[in-house]
Structure 1
Amino acid sequence: MKYLHLIILALLMHTSLTAQVKSEYSREVFIKGSDSLLYRLLLPENFDPAKKYPVLFVLHGAGERGNNNEAQLTHGGKLFQSERMRKDFPAIVIFPQCPTKDFWANVQFNNTAERFAFQKGGEPGKAMTLLIGLVENFKSLKYTDNDKFYVGGLSMGGMGTLEILRRKPKMFAAAFAICGGDNIENVKKYKKVPLWFFHGEKDNVVPVEKSKVVVAELKRLKVADVKFTLYPDANHNSWDPAFAEAELLPWLFSHSR
Protein backbone atom coordinates (compact mmCIF):
# COMPACT_ATOMS: atom_id res chain seq x y z
CA MET A 1 0.00 0.00 0.00
CA LYS A 2 2.90 2.32 0.74
CA TYR A 3 4.14 2.08 -2.86
CA LEU A 4 0.61 2.53 -4.20
CA HIS A 5 0.31 5.78 -2.24
CA LEU A 6 3.62 6.98 -3.67
CA ILE A 7 2.48 6.19 -7.22
CA ILE A 8 -0.81 8.03 -6.70
CA LEU A 9 1.05 11.01 -5.22
CA ALA A 10 3.44 11.11 -8.20
CA LEU A 11 0.52 11.01 -10.63
CA LEU A 12 -1.24 13.82 -8.79
CA MET A 13 1.91 15.94 -8.83
CA HIS A 14 2.38 15.34 -12.56
CA THR A 15 -1.26 16.27 -13.23
CA SER A 16 -0.86 19.41 -11.14
CA LEU A 17 2.31 20.49 -12.96
CA THR A 18 0.71 19.81 -16.36
CA ALA A 19 -2.34 21.85 -15.42
CA GLN A 20 -0.09 24.66 -14.20
CA VAL A 21 1.78 24.73 -17.52
CA LYS A 22 -1.43 24.84 -19.51
CA SER A 23 -2.98 27.51 -17.30
CA GLU A 24 -0.17 29.94 -18.15
CA TYR A 25 -1.40 29.98 -21.74
CA SER A 26 -4.65 31.88 -22.18
CA ARG A 27 -7.41 30.32 -24.27
CA GLU A 28 -8.11 32.30 -27.44
CA VAL A 29 -10.00 31.95 -30.71
CA PHE A 30 -9.35 33.57 -34.08
CA ILE A 31 -12.45 34.11 -36.22
CA LYS A 32 -12.41 34.73 -39.94
CA GLY A 33 -15.80 34.83 -41.61
CA SER A 34 -17.72 31.74 -40.54
CA ASP A 35 -14.56 29.79 -39.64
CA SER A 36 -12.51 29.82 -36.45
CA LEU A 37 -9.13 28.61 -35.19
CA LEU A 38 -8.50 27.87 -31.53
CA TYR A 39 -5.14 28.84 -30.05
CA ARG A 40 -3.29 29.24 -26.77
CA LEU A 41 -1.40 32.45 -26.10
CA LEU A 42 1.56 33.06 -23.79
CA LEU A 43 2.59 36.66 -23.22
CA PRO A 44 6.02 37.63 -21.87
CA GLU A 45 6.34 38.18 -18.15
CA ASN A 46 5.66 41.81 -17.22
CA PHE A 47 4.12 42.31 -20.63
CA ASP A 48 4.17 45.96 -21.69
CA PRO A 49 1.95 46.87 -24.69
CA ALA A 50 4.15 49.91 -25.28
CA LYS A 51 7.04 47.60 -26.23
CA LYS A 52 7.51 45.42 -29.30
CA TYR A 53 7.97 41.67 -28.90
CA PRO A 54 9.04 38.76 -31.12
CA VAL A 55 6.27 36.30 -31.98
CA LEU A 56 6.62 32.52 -32.26
CA PHE A 57 4.00 30.17 -33.72
CA VAL A 58 4.35 26.49 -32.74
CA LEU A 59 2.50 23.92 -34.87
CA HIS A 60 1.57 20.59 -33.30
CA GLY A 61 1.37 17.14 -34.85
CA ALA A 62 -1.62 15.14 -36.10
CA GLY A 63 -2.17 13.48 -32.74
CA GLU A 64 -2.94 16.80 -31.06
CA ARG A 65 -5.68 17.90 -33.44
CA GLY A 66 -9.11 18.59 -31.97
CA ASN A 67 -11.32 21.26 -30.47
CA ASN A 68 -10.33 21.22 -26.79
CA ASN A 69 -7.76 24.03 -27.19
CA GLU A 70 -5.44 22.05 -24.93
CA ALA A 71 -3.80 19.07 -26.64
CA GLN A 72 -1.57 21.28 -28.80
CA LEU A 73 0.49 22.16 -25.70
CA THR A 74 1.53 18.52 -25.19
CA HIS A 75 4.89 18.92 -26.93
CA GLY A 76 6.78 22.18 -26.43
CA GLY A 77 4.38 23.80 -24.00
CA LYS A 78 6.82 23.49 -21.09
CA LEU A 79 9.87 24.56 -23.09
CA PHE A 80 8.46 27.89 -24.23
CA GLN A 81 7.17 28.60 -20.75
CA SER A 82 10.48 27.73 -19.10
CA GLU A 83 12.29 30.19 -16.87
CA ARG A 84 15.15 30.40 -19.37
CA MET A 85 12.77 31.24 -22.22
CA ARG A 86 10.86 33.86 -20.23
CA LYS A 87 14.06 35.51 -18.97
CA ASP A 88 16.41 35.33 -21.97
CA PHE A 89 13.95 35.35 -24.88
CA PRO A 90 10.81 37.28 -23.90
CA ALA A 91 8.40 36.65 -26.74
CA ILE A 92 4.75 36.11 -27.53
CA VAL A 93 4.20 32.36 -28.04
CA ILE A 94 1.18 31.00 -29.89
CA PHE A 95 0.03 27.37 -30.15
CA PRO A 96 -2.86 27.11 -32.66
CA GLN A 97 -4.91 23.89 -32.76
CA CYS A 98 -5.74 22.28 -36.09
CA PRO A 99 -9.28 20.80 -36.25
CA THR A 100 -9.56 17.00 -36.09
CA LYS A 101 -10.28 16.35 -39.77
CA ASP A 102 -7.98 19.02 -41.17
CA PHE A 103 -4.22 19.14 -41.81
CA TRP A 104 -1.71 21.97 -41.77
CA ALA A 105 -0.10 20.99 -45.09
CA ASN A 106 -1.35 19.93 -48.51
CA VAL A 107 -0.31 16.30 -48.62
CA GLN A 108 -1.82 13.06 -49.86
CA PHE A 109 -1.41 9.80 -47.93
CA ASN A 110 -0.88 6.36 -49.40
CA ASN A 111 0.20 2.89 -48.31
CA THR A 112 3.33 2.76 -50.44
CA ALA A 113 6.89 3.35 -49.26
CA GLU A 114 6.40 6.98 -50.31
CA ARG A 115 3.66 7.32 -47.66
CA PHE A 116 3.43 11.12 -47.92
CA ALA A 117 2.98 12.81 -51.30
CA PHE A 118 3.49 16.53 -50.82
CA GLN A 119 1.70 18.77 -53.26
CA LYS A 120 3.14 21.57 -55.36
CA GLY A 121 1.04 24.71 -55.48
CA GLY A 122 -2.69 24.43 -54.90
CA GLU A 123 -4.91 26.40 -52.59
CA PRO A 124 -4.28 26.18 -48.84
CA GLY A 125 -6.64 24.11 -46.72
CA LYS A 126 -8.99 25.69 -44.19
CA ALA A 127 -6.59 25.28 -41.26
CA MET A 128 -3.68 26.84 -43.19
CA THR A 129 -5.88 29.69 -44.42
CA LEU A 130 -6.88 30.45 -40.84
CA LEU A 131 -3.29 30.16 -39.63
CA ILE A 132 -2.13 32.69 -42.22
CA GLY A 133 -4.95 34.98 -41.12
CA LEU A 134 -3.89 34.60 -37.49
CA VAL A 135 -0.28 35.50 -38.32
CA GLU A 136 -1.42 38.52 -40.32
CA ASN A 137 -3.61 39.60 -37.41
CA PHE A 138 -0.63 39.55 -35.02
CA LYS A 139 1.45 41.39 -37.60
CA SER A 140 -1.03 44.25 -37.37
CA LEU A 141 -0.68 44.70 -33.60
CA LYS A 142 1.35 47.60 -32.26
CA TYR A 143 3.24 45.49 -29.70
CA THR A 144 4.61 42.88 -32.13
CA ASP A 145 7.96 43.17 -33.90
CA ASN A 146 7.26 42.40 -37.55
CA ASP A 147 10.94 41.69 -38.18
CA LYS A 148 10.97 38.93 -35.57
CA PHE A 149 8.21 36.49 -36.42
CA TYR A 150 9.10 32.80 -36.17
CA VAL A 151 7.39 29.49 -36.87
CA GLY A 152 8.21 25.89 -36.07
CA GLY A 153 6.50 22.57 -35.69
CA LEU A 154 6.72 18.82 -35.32
CA SER A 155 5.50 16.02 -37.61
CA MET A 156 2.34 17.43 -39.25
CA GLY A 157 3.43 20.76 -37.77
CA GLY A 158 6.87 20.40 -39.37
CA MET A 159 5.11 19.91 -42.69
CA GLY A 160 2.87 22.87 -41.92
CA THR A 161 5.91 25.00 -41.14
CA LEU A 162 7.31 24.43 -44.61
CA GLU A 163 3.83 24.92 -46.08
CA ILE A 164 3.35 28.36 -44.55
CA LEU A 165 6.92 29.34 -45.45
CA ARG A 166 6.35 28.59 -49.12
CA ARG A 167 3.09 30.54 -49.08
CA LYS A 168 4.36 33.48 -47.02
CA PRO A 169 8.18 33.39 -47.07
CA LYS A 170 8.53 37.07 -46.18
CA MET A 171 6.52 36.70 -42.97
CA PHE A 172 9.19 34.94 -40.92
CA ALA A 173 12.74 35.63 -39.77
CA ALA A 174 13.58 31.96 -39.10
CA ALA A 175 11.93 28.58 -38.60
CA PHE A 176 12.45 25.01 -37.41
CA ALA A 177 10.92 21.80 -38.76
CA ILE A 178 10.95 18.57 -36.73
CA CYS A 179 10.30 15.29 -38.60
CA GLY A 180 8.48 17.12 -41.40
CA GLY A 181 8.80 17.21 -45.18
CA ASP A 182 7.79 18.92 -48.41
CA ASN A 183 7.79 18.64 -52.19
CA ILE A 184 11.25 19.72 -53.34
CA GLU A 185 9.60 21.84 -56.05
CA ASN A 186 8.43 24.15 -53.27
CA VAL A 187 11.81 24.57 -51.61
CA LYS A 188 13.02 27.46 -53.75
CA LYS A 189 10.17 29.60 -52.41
CA TYR A 190 11.59 29.66 -48.88
CA LYS A 191 15.30 29.31 -49.64
CA LYS A 192 16.06 32.67 -48.01
CA VAL A 193 14.50 31.73 -44.66
CA PRO A 194 17.00 30.41 -42.06
CA LEU A 195 15.88 26.87 -41.20
CA TRP A 196 16.87 24.20 -38.70
CA PHE A 197 15.69 20.66 -39.45
CA PHE A 198 15.52 17.77 -36.97
CA HIS A 199 14.70 14.11 -37.63
CA GLY A 200 15.14 10.69 -36.06
CA GLU A 201 16.90 8.22 -38.34
CA LYS A 202 14.67 5.40 -37.08
CA ASP A 203 11.44 7.32 -37.70
CA ASN A 204 8.82 4.78 -38.82
CA VAL A 205 6.01 7.34 -39.24
CA VAL A 206 7.59 10.11 -41.32
CA PRO A 207 10.65 8.63 -43.06
CA VAL A 208 13.85 10.59 -42.47
CA GLU A 209 14.25 10.95 -46.24
CA LYS A 210 11.40 13.48 -46.16
CA SER A 211 13.69 15.93 -44.38
CA LYS A 212 16.85 14.84 -46.16
CA VAL A 213 15.56 15.70 -49.65
CA VAL A 214 14.46 19.18 -48.55
CA VAL A 215 17.80 19.89 -46.88
CA ALA A 216 19.67 18.56 -49.92
CA GLU A 217 17.69 20.86 -52.21
CA LEU A 218 18.34 23.87 -49.97
CA LYS A 219 22.06 23.10 -50.01
CA ARG A 220 21.95 22.68 -53.79
CA LEU A 221 20.49 26.17 -53.94
CA LYS A 222 23.49 27.30 -51.84
CA VAL A 223 21.48 28.57 -48.93
CA ALA A 224 23.71 30.05 -46.26
CA ASP A 225 21.72 29.30 -43.09
CA VAL A 226 20.35 25.76 -43.09
CA LYS A 227 21.02 23.36 -40.22
CA PHE A 228 20.19 19.67 -40.02
CA THR A 229 20.37 17.56 -36.88
CA LEU A 230 19.89 13.80 -37.16
CA TYR A 231 19.31 11.61 -34.13
CA PRO A 232 20.63 8.09 -34.93
CA ASP A 233 18.55 6.30 -32.29
CA ALA A 234 15.39 8.41 -32.33
CA ASN A 235 12.09 7.26 -33.77
CA HIS A 236 9.22 9.62 -34.53
CA ASN A 237 9.50 11.48 -31.22
CA SER A 238 12.57 13.43 -32.34
CA TRP A 239 10.89 16.52 -30.90
CA ASP A 240 12.09 15.39 -27.46
CA PRO A 241 15.82 15.77 -28.22
CA ALA A 242 15.12 18.71 -30.56
CA PHE A 243 13.38 20.70 -27.83
CA ALA A 244 16.25 19.81 -25.50
CA GLU A 245 18.85 21.36 -27.83
CA ALA A 246 20.55 24.14 -25.87
CA GLU A 247 21.15 26.21 -28.99
CA LEU A 248 17.64 26.04 -30.45
CA LEU A 249 16.29 29.15 -28.76
CA PRO A 250 19.45 31.29 -29.15
CA TRP A 251 19.68 30.32 -32.80
CA LEU A 252 16.01 30.99 -33.53
CA PHE A 253 15.73 34.36 -31.83
CA SER A 254 19.07 35.59 -33.18
CA HIS A 255 17.48 36.10 -36.59
CA SER A 256 15.70 39.17 -37.81
CA ARG A 257 14.22 40.01 -41.20
Structure 2
Amino acid sequence: MDVFSCSIILYFTIMKVPEDWDLPSEGNDKLCARFSRAVYGTNPGMPYRLYTPKTNDRVPLVVYIHGADAYGLDNESQLSMHDIGTVLTKDSWQAKHPCFVLAPQCGQGSASFHEQATETICRIASIIVGSNPHIDTRRLYIYGYSAGAAKTFVILKKHPGLFAAAFAICGATDRLGIEKLADVPLYLMHAQDDTIVRASYKTPHDPDPVFLGSSDLYEEIRDSSSDITYKSFPVGYMKEHYGINPHCTWVPASEDEEIWEWMFKHVQESGG
Protein backbone atom coordinates (compact mmCIF):
# COMPACT_ATOMS: atom_id res chain seq x y z
CA MET A 1 0.00 0.00 0.00
CA ASP A 2 1.18 3.54 -0.72
CA VAL A 3 2.38 4.50 2.75
CA PHE A 4 1.11 8.05 2.43
CA SER A 5 -2.54 6.98 2.34
CA CYS A 6 -2.13 5.68 5.89
CA SER A 7 -1.11 9.10 7.23
CA ILE A 8 -4.14 10.71 5.59
CA ILE A 9 -6.36 8.08 7.19
CA LEU A 10 -4.86 8.79 10.61
CA TYR A 11 -5.30 12.54 10.19
CA PHE A 12 -9.04 12.29 9.67
CA THR A 13 -9.42 9.55 12.28
CA ILE A 14 -7.83 11.69 14.98
CA MET A 15 -8.88 15.19 13.91
CA LYS A 16 -12.19 16.73 12.98
CA VAL A 17 -12.74 18.29 9.59
CA PRO A 18 -11.49 21.91 9.85
CA GLU A 19 -14.06 24.67 10.32
CA ASP A 20 -12.96 26.34 7.09
CA TRP A 21 -13.85 23.29 4.97
CA ASP A 22 -15.88 23.89 1.81
CA LEU A 23 -19.59 23.11 1.50
CA PRO A 24 -21.44 21.69 -1.51
CA SER A 25 -23.21 24.18 -3.71
CA GLU A 26 -26.97 24.53 -3.91
CA GLY A 27 -28.25 21.96 -6.38
CA ASN A 28 -25.56 19.37 -5.73
CA ASP A 29 -28.18 17.15 -4.10
CA LYS A 30 -30.09 17.01 -7.38
CA LEU A 31 -26.95 15.88 -9.19
CA CYS A 32 -26.34 13.22 -6.52
CA ALA A 33 -29.84 11.88 -7.15
CA ARG A 34 -28.89 11.10 -10.76
CA PHE A 35 -26.60 8.29 -9.60
CA SER A 36 -27.84 4.75 -9.04
CA ARG A 37 -26.79 2.88 -5.89
CA ALA A 38 -25.17 -0.52 -5.47
CA VAL A 39 -22.84 -2.44 -3.17
CA TYR A 40 -20.06 -4.77 -4.30
CA GLY A 41 -19.39 -7.73 -2.02
CA THR A 42 -20.50 -8.35 1.55
CA ASN A 43 -19.36 -7.88 5.16
CA PRO A 44 -19.75 -4.97 4.58
CA GLY A 45 -18.82 -4.70 0.90
CA MET A 46 -17.98 -1.50 -0.98
CA PRO A 47 -20.86 0.89 -1.69
CA TYR A 48 -20.73 2.71 -4.99
CA ARG A 49 -22.76 5.08 -7.11
CA LEU A 50 -22.97 5.07 -10.89
CA TYR A 51 -24.09 7.81 -13.23
CA THR A 52 -25.34 6.49 -16.58
CA PRO A 53 -25.56 9.01 -19.44
CA LYS A 54 -28.51 9.33 -21.78
CA THR A 55 -26.81 8.16 -24.96
CA ASN A 56 -26.39 5.06 -27.08
CA ASP A 57 -22.94 6.12 -28.25
CA ARG A 58 -19.75 4.63 -26.84
CA VAL A 59 -18.55 7.12 -24.24
CA PRO A 60 -15.92 7.36 -21.46
CA LEU A 61 -16.08 5.92 -17.96
CA VAL A 62 -14.66 8.22 -15.28
CA VAL A 63 -13.67 6.75 -11.91
CA TYR A 64 -13.83 9.26 -9.05
CA ILE A 65 -12.25 8.53 -5.64
CA HIS A 66 -13.18 10.68 -2.65
CA GLY A 67 -10.97 11.77 0.21
CA ALA A 68 -10.81 10.55 3.80
CA ASP A 69 -13.40 13.12 4.89
CA ALA A 70 -16.07 11.00 3.15
CA TYR A 71 -15.06 7.58 4.50
CA GLY A 72 -18.07 5.52 5.49
CA LEU A 73 -20.76 3.13 4.33
CA ASP A 74 -23.71 5.48 3.74
CA ASN A 75 -23.16 5.51 -0.05
CA GLU A 76 -23.88 9.21 0.06
CA SER A 77 -20.98 11.23 1.46
CA GLN A 78 -18.64 10.52 -1.45
CA LEU A 79 -20.95 12.65 -3.62
CA SER A 80 -22.83 14.90 -1.21
CA MET A 81 -19.86 16.33 0.68
CA HIS A 82 -18.39 18.32 -2.23
CA ASP A 83 -19.20 19.28 -5.82
CA ILE A 84 -16.12 17.56 -7.20
CA GLY A 85 -17.80 14.15 -7.53
CA THR A 86 -20.81 15.37 -9.49
CA VAL A 87 -19.23 18.01 -11.72
CA LEU A 88 -19.19 15.77 -14.81
CA THR A 89 -22.89 14.98 -14.52
CA LYS A 90 -24.01 18.56 -15.03
CA ASP A 91 -26.22 19.07 -18.08
CA SER A 92 -23.74 21.51 -19.60
CA TRP A 93 -20.96 18.92 -19.52
CA GLN A 94 -23.06 15.93 -20.51
CA ALA A 95 -24.34 17.84 -23.55
CA LYS A 96 -20.76 18.09 -24.83
CA HIS A 97 -19.11 15.04 -23.30
CA PRO A 98 -21.56 12.37 -22.15
CA CYS A 99 -19.86 9.89 -19.84
CA PHE A 100 -20.38 7.34 -17.12
CA VAL A 101 -19.16 8.31 -13.64
CA LEU A 102 -18.30 5.67 -11.04
CA ALA A 103 -18.06 6.88 -7.43
CA PRO A 104 -17.09 4.13 -4.95
CA GLN A 105 -17.07 4.79 -1.22
CA CYS A 106 -14.22 3.57 0.95
CA GLY A 107 -14.52 2.88 4.65
CA GLN A 108 -11.99 3.39 7.41
CA GLY A 109 -9.54 0.62 8.10
CA SER A 110 -5.96 -0.58 8.26
CA ALA A 111 -3.33 -0.25 5.56
CA SER A 112 -4.17 -3.74 4.29
CA PHE A 113 -7.85 -2.77 4.18
CA HIS A 114 -7.07 0.20 1.95
CA GLU A 115 -4.72 -1.90 -0.14
CA GLN A 116 -7.68 -4.16 -0.84
CA ALA A 117 -9.92 -1.15 -1.46
CA THR A 118 -7.90 -0.01 -4.47
CA GLU A 119 -8.22 -3.47 -6.01
CA THR A 120 -11.94 -3.55 -5.25
CA ILE A 121 -12.38 -0.22 -7.04
CA CYS A 122 -10.67 -1.68 -10.10
CA ARG A 123 -12.85 -4.80 -9.96
CA ILE A 124 -16.02 -2.73 -9.80
CA ALA A 125 -14.85 -0.66 -12.76
CA SER A 126 -14.04 -3.83 -14.68
CA ILE A 127 -17.49 -5.29 -14.01
CA ILE A 128 -19.19 -2.09 -15.14
CA VAL A 129 -17.10 -1.95 -18.31
CA GLY A 130 -17.74 -5.61 -19.05
CA SER A 131 -21.49 -5.29 -18.60
CA ASN A 132 -21.97 -2.09 -20.55
CA PRO A 133 -21.18 -2.03 -24.29
CA HIS A 134 -21.65 1.74 -24.36
CA ILE A 135 -18.38 2.32 -22.47
CA ASP A 136 -15.40 3.12 -24.68
CA THR A 137 -12.50 1.20 -23.14
CA ARG A 138 -10.03 3.51 -24.89
CA ARG A 139 -11.34 6.36 -22.73
CA LEU A 140 -11.17 5.31 -19.11
CA TYR A 141 -10.25 8.20 -16.81
CA ILE A 142 -9.57 8.45 -13.08
CA TYR A 143 -9.38 11.32 -10.60
CA GLY A 144 -9.44 11.85 -6.87
CA TYR A 145 -8.71 14.32 -4.12
CA SER A 146 -6.54 14.01 -0.99
CA ALA A 147 -6.59 10.33 0.10
CA GLY A 148 -8.48 9.67 -3.13
CA ALA A 149 -5.57 11.14 -5.06
CA ALA A 150 -3.21 8.89 -3.08
CA LYS A 151 -5.34 5.91 -4.07
CA THR A 152 -5.32 7.14 -7.65
CA PHE A 153 -1.52 6.99 -7.61
CA VAL A 154 -1.63 3.47 -6.15
CA ILE A 155 -3.96 2.30 -8.92
CA LEU A 156 -1.89 3.93 -11.66
CA LYS A 157 1.25 2.23 -10.34
CA LYS A 158 -0.42 -1.17 -10.10
CA HIS A 159 -2.33 -0.97 -13.37
CA PRO A 160 -0.23 0.97 -15.87
CA GLY A 161 -1.97 1.37 -19.20
CA LEU A 162 -5.47 0.98 -17.77
CA PHE A 163 -6.41 4.67 -17.80
CA ALA A 164 -6.08 7.13 -20.65
CA ALA A 165 -5.53 10.08 -18.27
CA ALA A 166 -5.58 10.90 -14.56
CA PHE A 167 -6.14 13.96 -12.37
CA ALA A 168 -4.78 14.04 -8.79
CA ILE A 169 -5.92 16.89 -6.53
CA CYS A 170 -3.95 17.74 -3.35
CA GLY A 171 -2.50 14.25 -3.21
CA ALA A 172 0.82 12.64 -2.45
CA THR A 173 2.59 9.34 -2.90
CA ASP A 174 5.76 7.53 -1.96
CA ARG A 175 8.71 6.91 -4.24
CA LEU A 176 8.05 3.28 -4.98
CA GLY A 177 7.01 2.88 -8.60
CA ILE A 178 6.82 6.57 -9.48
CA GLU A 179 8.41 5.84 -12.87
CA LYS A 180 5.10 4.23 -13.85
CA LEU A 181 3.33 7.53 -13.26
CA ALA A 182 5.36 9.02 -16.10
CA ASP A 183 3.60 6.68 -18.53
CA VAL A 184 0.09 8.10 -18.09
CA PRO A 185 -1.07 11.64 -18.93
CA LEU A 186 -1.26 13.23 -15.50
CA TYR A 187 -2.62 16.52 -14.16
CA LEU A 188 -1.62 17.61 -10.64
CA MET A 189 -3.15 20.39 -8.54
CA HIS A 190 -2.11 21.67 -5.11
CA ALA A 191 -1.98 24.80 -2.93
CA GLN A 192 1.46 25.74 -1.68
CA ASP A 193 0.15 26.45 1.84
CA ASP A 194 -1.72 23.16 2.21
CA THR A 195 -0.77 21.84 5.67
CA ILE A 196 -2.89 18.67 5.56
CA VAL A 197 -1.17 17.20 2.53
CA ARG A 198 1.88 19.24 1.68
CA ALA A 199 2.68 20.20 -1.89
CA SER A 200 6.34 19.49 -1.08
CA TYR A 201 7.96 17.37 1.60
CA LYS A 202 11.47 18.51 0.76
CA THR A 203 13.38 20.45 3.40
CA PRO A 204 17.01 21.59 3.69
CA HIS A 205 17.54 18.68 6.08
CA ASP A 206 15.62 16.18 3.92
CA PRO A 207 16.10 16.97 0.23
CA ASP A 208 15.13 13.42 -0.77
CA PRO A 209 11.98 12.65 1.27
CA VAL A 210 10.07 9.38 1.30
CA PHE A 211 6.78 11.16 0.62
CA LEU A 212 6.25 13.22 -2.52
CA GLY A 213 3.68 15.98 -2.71
CA SER A 214 2.43 17.23 -6.07
CA SER A 215 5.33 19.66 -6.46
CA ASP A 216 7.88 16.96 -5.60
CA LEU A 217 6.30 14.42 -7.93
CA TYR A 218 6.20 16.90 -10.78
CA GLU A 219 9.90 17.65 -10.35
CA GLU A 220 10.73 13.94 -10.19
CA ILE A 221 8.98 12.78 -13.36
CA ARG A 222 8.45 15.79 -15.60
CA ASP A 223 11.53 15.05 -17.72
CA SER A 224 10.46 11.45 -18.35
CA SER A 225 6.73 12.10 -18.69
CA SER A 226 5.24 12.70 -22.11
CA ASP A 227 2.27 14.61 -20.66
CA ILE A 228 2.25 16.08 -17.16
CA THR A 229 0.79 19.36 -15.91
CA TYR A 230 1.06 20.89 -12.46
CA LYS A 231 -1.20 23.73 -11.37
CA SER A 232 -0.01 25.33 -8.15
CA PHE A 233 -1.90 27.92 -6.10
CA PRO A 234 0.27 30.45 -4.24
CA VAL A 235 0.20 30.98 -0.50
CA GLY A 236 -3.04 32.71 0.53
CA TYR A 237 -4.88 32.08 -2.74
CA MET A 238 -7.51 29.69 -1.40
CA LYS A 239 -8.35 31.94 1.55
CA GLU A 240 -8.40 35.10 -0.53
CA HIS A 241 -10.49 33.77 -3.41
CA TYR A 242 -12.67 31.17 -1.72
CA GLY A 243 -12.42 31.75 2.03
CA ILE A 244 -11.67 28.08 2.63
CA ASN A 245 -8.89 25.80 3.82
CA PRO A 246 -5.92 25.59 1.41
CA HIS A 247 -6.38 21.82 1.22
CA CYS A 248 -9.73 22.25 -0.54
CA THR A 249 -8.30 22.69 -4.04
CA TRP A 250 -11.03 20.39 -5.34
CA VAL A 251 -13.20 23.54 -5.33
CA PRO A 252 -11.28 25.39 -8.08
CA ALA A 253 -10.77 22.00 -9.75
CA SER A 254 -14.52 21.52 -10.07
CA GLU A 255 -14.81 24.94 -11.72
CA ASP A 256 -11.92 24.57 -14.17
CA GLU A 257 -13.42 23.16 -17.35
CA GLU A 258 -10.06 23.29 -19.13
CA ILE A 259 -8.81 20.45 -16.92
CA TRP A 260 -11.74 18.22 -17.82
CA GLU A 261 -11.31 19.09 -21.49
CA TRP A 262 -7.65 18.12 -21.14
CA MET A 263 -8.64 14.79 -19.62
CA PHE A 264 -11.27 13.95 -22.22
CA LYS A 265 -9.02 14.64 -25.19
CA HIS A 266 -6.90 11.60 -24.33
CA VAL A 267 -7.78 8.42 -26.18
CA GLN A 268 -5.74 5.23 -26.03
CA GLU A 269 -4.96 3.31 -29.21
CA SER A 270 -6.55 0.24 -27.67
CA GLY A 271 -8.61 -0.36 -24.55
CA GLY A 272 -6.72 -0.51 -21.24
CA distance in 2 between partners of 1:168 and 1:98 (Å): 19
Give, in angstroms, the shift of residue 216 of structure 1: 1.1
CA distance in 2 between partners of 1:214 and 1:146 (Å): 28
2:100 to 86, 92, 95: 92
SS across alignment from 1:170 = coil
1:219 paired residue number: 222
- 8 Å CA contact 1:102, 1:126 repeated in 2: no
CA distance in 2 between partners of 1:35 and 1:147 (Å): 32
Indicate the percent of aligned positions where both proteins have the same amino acid: 28
CA distance in 1 between partners of 2:25 and 2:247 (Å): 25
CA distance in 2 between partners of 1:168 and 1:139 (Å): 16
Per-residue deviation, residues 143-173 of structure 1 (Å, max 9, x unmatched): 2111100000000011111110000111100
- 8 Å CA contact 1:102, 1:127 repeated in 2: no
1:19 and 2:9 aligned:
no
- Unaligned stretches of 5+ residues in structure 1: 1-13, 107-122
Taking the TM superposition and a 5 Å limit, the aligned residue runs for 1:167-178 are 167-178=158-169
- 8 Å CA contact 1:166, 1:186 repeated in 2: yes
Check 1:99–1:124 CA distance in 2 against 1; reply closer, same or farther (3 A cut).
closer
CA distance in 2 between partners of 1:125 and 1:78 (Å): 25
CA distance in 2 between partners of 1:231 and 1:242 (Å): 11
1:155 paired residue number: 146
2:47 paired residue number: 38
Give, in angstroms, the shift of residue 34 of structure 1: 6.0
Query: RMSD of aligned C-alpha atoms?
Result: 2.1
- 8 Å CA contact 2:50, 2:102 repeated in 1: yes
1:251 paired residue number: 262
Extract structure 1 runs of 4+ deviating beyond 6 A: none
- 8 Å CA contact 2:64, 2:85 repeated in 1: no
- 8 Å CA contact 1:21, 1:77 repeated in 2: no
- Unaligned stretches of 5+ residues in structure 2: 1-23, 201-212, 239-245
1:130 and 2:120 aligned:
yes
2:55 paired residue number: 47
Deviates more, 1:168-177 or 1:182-191: 182-191
- 8 Å CA contact 2:170, 2:197 repeated in 1: yes
Per-residue deviation, residues 182-208 of structure 1 (Å, max 9, x unmatched): 123321123110000000111010011
- 8 Å CA contact 1:36, 1:130 repeated in 2: no
Higher relative contact order (CA 8 A, sep 6+): 2
Check 1:102–1:135 CA distance in 2 against 1; reply closer, same or farther (3 A cut).
farther
SS across alignment from 2:183 = coil
1:186 paired residue number: 177
> TM-score, normalization: structure 2?
0.75
Give, in angstroms, the shift of residue 99 of structure 1: 1.0
Give, in angstroms, the shift of residue 218 of structure 1: 1.3
Per-residue deviation, residues 7-63 of structure 1 (Å, max 9, x unmatched): xxxxxxx998343222111112223x766211111111x233xx3221000110000
- 8 Å CA contact 1:199, 1:208 repeated in 2: yes
SS across alignment from 2:27 = helix
